[in-house]
Amino acid sequence: MSTHNIQFELNGQKRTVSVEAGRLLIDLLRYDCGLTGTKEGCSVGVCGACSVIIDGEVTSACLTPAVFVDGSSVTTVEGLAKDGELTPLQDAFIRKGGFQCGICTSGQLMSATALLQSNPHPSVDEIKAWMMGNLCRCTGYYQIVEAIQAAAEASA
Amino acid sequence: MTTFDYHEPASLAEALSLFKKYGDDAQLIAGGTNLVIMMRQGLVQPKHVIGMRKLRELRGIAPTAQGGIEIGALTTHREVERSAMVARFFPALCETFGHVATVRIRNQATIGGNVVHADPAQDPPPMLLALNAEIVVASDGKSRTIPTTEFFRDFFEVALESGEIVTAVRIPPQPSGVKGTYVKFLPQSKDDYATVAVAVVMKLGSGGTCEDIRIGLGALGPTPLRAPKTEAALKGKKLTDKIVAEAAALVRDEVDPLDDIRGSAKYKREMARVWTERAIKSLIK
Task: For residues B92 and B162, state if they share a domain.
Answer: yes
Interface contact B37-A63, CB threshold 8 A: yes
Q: Are A66 and A75 within 8 A, CB to CB?
A: no
Task: For residues B151 and B260, state if they share a domain.
Answer: no
ipTM of the shown complex: 0.96
SS3 content of chain B, % helix, strand, coil (to 5): 40, 25, 35
In this structure, the number of other CB atoms found within 10 A of the CB of residue A82 comes to: 10
Cβ contacts of B33 on chain A, cutoff 8 Å: 45, 60, 63
Sheet strands (E) in A1-139: 3-10, 13-20, 51-54, 57-60, 73-75
Q: Say whether B60 sits in a helix, a strand or coil.
A: coil
Task: For residues B26 and B122, state if they share a domain.
Answer: yes
Domain end among B111, B143, B174: B174
Q: Which of B18, B79, B103, B190 would best serve as a mutation to test chain A binding (most A beta carbons within 10 A)? A: B103
Q: Which of B197, B180, B184 is nearest to B255 (CA)?
A: B197
Q: Which residues contact B110 (CB under 8 A, 6 or more apart)?
A: B30, B31, B73, B74, B75, B76, B77
Domain count, chain B: 2
Alpha-carbon distance of A151 to A113, in angstroms, equals 10
Task: For residues B40 and B126, state if they share a domain.
Answer: yes
CATH number, domain of B140, equals 3.30.465.10
Task: For residues B141 and B3, state if they share a domain.
Answer: yes
For chain A, give every domain's residue range: 3-79, 88-154
Alpha-carbon distance of B115 to B34, in angstroms, equals 11
Interface contact B6-A65, CB threshold 8 A: yes
Domain end among B148, B174, B200: B174
pLDDT in tens, chain A (156 residues): 999 999 999 999 999 999 999 999 999 999 999 999 999 999 999 999 999 999 999 999 999 999 999 999 999 999 999 999 999 999 999 999 999 999 999 999 999 999 999 999 999 999 999 999 999 999 999 999 999 999 999 886
Is 80 exceeded by the pLDDT of residue B1? no
Interface contact A43-B2, CB threshold 8 A: no
Q: Are A32 and A19 within 8 A, CB to CB?
A: yes
Q: Are B91 and B75 within 8 A, CB to CB?
A: no
Torsion of CA A39, A40, A45, A48, to 10 degrees: -30
Domain end among B146, B174, B202: B174
**Is B101 at the interface with chain A, CB within 8 A?**
yes
Provide the CATH topology of domain A3-79.
Answer: Ubiquitin-like (UB roll) (3.10.20)
Domain that holds residue B92: 1-50+58-174
Task: For residues B13 and B140, state if they share a domain.
Answer: yes
Sign of CA dihedral B237, B241, B242, B246: positive
Task: For residues B23 and B163, state if they share a domain.
Answer: yes
Q: Which CATH class for the A88-154 domain?
A: mainly alpha
pLDDT tens digits along B221-261: 999 999 999 999 999 999 999 999 999 999 999 999 999 99
Alpha-carbon distance of A133 to A150, in angstroms, equals 20
Task: For residues B31 and B169, state if they share a domain.
Answer: yes
